[in-house]
Amino acid sequence: MINKNEVRQLKIEQSLIKRHRSERRFRRLGLSAILLSTLCIVVLFTDIISKGKGAFKLTYIKLEVNYDAEILGVDPMVHDALEKDGAQPYALANFQGLIKSALRKRFVDVSGRRLRRELYGLVSQGASDDLRRRLIENPLLLNKSETLWLVADDDVDYFYKNSDAGGTVSDRISEHEQDWINDLSQTGEIETRFNAVFFTQGDSREPELAGILGAAVGSFLTMLVTFFLSFPIGVSAALYLEEFAPRNRWTDFIEVNINNLAAVPSIIFGLLGLAVFINFFHLPRSAPLIGGLVLALMTLPTIIISSRAGIKAVPPSIREAAIGIGASPMQVVFHHVLPLAMPTILTGVIIGMAQALGETAPLLMIGMVAFIVDIPTGFLDSATVMPVQIFLWADSAERAFIEKTSAAIMVLMMFLIFMNFLSVILRKRLERRW
């Protein structure tokens, strides 16, 4: 006969086996989830980096440019008179003609209208602006020659960076253009350099001349407005609700709505900004001030909730000790509670700002989707932001904007990673364990 104790022991062992089996299964599922998410992140970053790394290089073509006054259409005597009067003597000058003349001089065997049109397409349309600036800075160059490295066209740039000189025929590069690129490559008259234009210029219709500086400055100005509005208002609201507000239906109603606002889709805040700030107050559309106001409204619930969590974490004994030595309620809050809660508050602020930095939908509603070339200099200037710039480039038809889009995503993600890393460091260095 089997002993009852043995039966009970057998059931316990079987139960333990099942429990251990389920625990191992759970660990495997958790590990699989971590590996899958890591794989997805690696694939995402690999795809972005592989597509965007080319945007950090730009192709240049070496040409000898002659600032011929006849080609420019500039009369030297009229030029001197205009310069004395303070007028711009090169406003209507034909600088594109100088580039065409330099290309014809370099490829003397090219003839025919169609071939010459393809030849002229080797150099970017924006190279003429560089020549204009050089001649304005140094008027003595008129009727003289100099050797310059001019920015290549976006199709030439994309082809040269993404294939060898003898690559296959591209749908945007003809066989003749490939032969000319081969010739320039063999003589060392074409090369890639670090693309400083990407970091020092604003947006442009020409992909090789487009940069992120305008969007970066717009994001910076917008984040300044967001921070200086959301931080003091959010922390003050959290202090009032936690330390001074009476517990009644009114404060319960406010707390419920704050929690609900944290889950509201961001585009709703854009609609609110459109209705209130633009249509009612008639503030300028597509300005960092409006963008900062909208993002401040969106960020406030996150900051209030995190600030309240940090204030709640301060032990009651701190308050009681401060009151015991005669501190007033205001002194208790601002001299003891707030400094101890500040690490958690700053963490919430940084996370909220990082979320605001990556927002696109609310800014589209207030017109920050406009094509802005100039770098904004104030809070009321027309501007765009990094996420919207990425959105615009991703929607562009030119193939070279694919590189620009991925490169801008890389820059934006670097800022976001830095902000999240900063929040972790601040929390680790400043927090106190009770």
Q: How many CB atoms lie within 10 A of CB 61?
A: 27
Place of tokens 């000898």: 64
Pairing outcome for strands 57-66 and 145-151: antiparallel
d(Cα 6, Cα 28) in Å, to the nearest integer? Answer: 33
Fold classified for 213-430: MetI-like fold (1.10.3720)
Q: Which amino acid is at 328?
A: S
Q: How far is CA 322 from CA 144, 312, 338, in A?
A: 81, 16, 13
Q: How far is CA 295 from CA 281, 306, 350, in A?
A: 17, 17, 13
Beta bridge partners of 59: 192
Report the pLDDT value the prediction gives residue 227, as an integer from 0 to 100: 93
Q: Which amino acid is at 59?
A: T
- Which tokens belong to 356? 């605001």
pTM: 0.85
Residue 54 sits at the vertex; the CA angle it makes with 391 and 50, to the nearest 5 degrees, is: 80
Report the pLDDT value the prediction gives residue 164, as an integer from 0 to 100: 54
d(Cα 316, Cα 173) in Å, to the nearest integer? Answer: 73
d(Cα 278, Cα 284) in Å, to the nearest integer? Answer: 7
Beta bridge partners of 145: 66
d(Cα 373, Cα 7) in Å, to the nearest integer? Answer: 82
Sequence ranges of the domains in the chain: 4-53, 55-209, 213-430
Report the pLDDT value the prediction gives residue 339, as an integer from 0 to 100: 87
d(Cα 5, Cα 70) in Å, to the nearest integer? Answer: 112
Sheet holding 57-66, edge to edge: 145-151, 57-66, 190-194
**SS3 assignment for 371-393:** CCCCCCCCCCCCCCCHHHHHHHH
- Which tokens belong to 342? 């500040």
**Whether the Cβ atoms of residue 216 and residue 224 lie closer than 8 Å to each other:** no
- Which tokens belong to 240? 């009032």
Report the pLDDT value the prediction gives residue 113, as an integer from 0 to 100: 87
Place of tokens 């300005």: 287
Q: How far is CA 24 from CA 17, 36, 164, 259, 301, in A?
A: 10, 18, 52, 37, 40
d(Cα 153, Cα 139) in Å, to the nearest integer? Answer: 27
* Tens place of pLDDT per residue across the chain (434 aa): 556 777 778 778 888 888 888 899 999 999 999 999 999 999 999 999 988 888 899 999 999 999 888 888 876 655 554 455 444 667 678 889 999 999 999 998 888 888 888 899 899 988 888 888 888 888 888 888 999 999 999 889 988 887 754 444 456 788 888 889 988 999 999 999 999 999 999 888 888 899 999 999 999 999 999 999 999 999 999 999 988 888 888 888 888 888 888 888 888 998 999 899 888 888 888 899 999 999 999 999 999 999 999 899 888 888 888 888 888 888 888 888 888 888 888 888 888 898 898 888 888 888 888 788 889 988 999 899 999 999 889 888 788 888 899 999 999 999 888 888 887 887 777 766 65
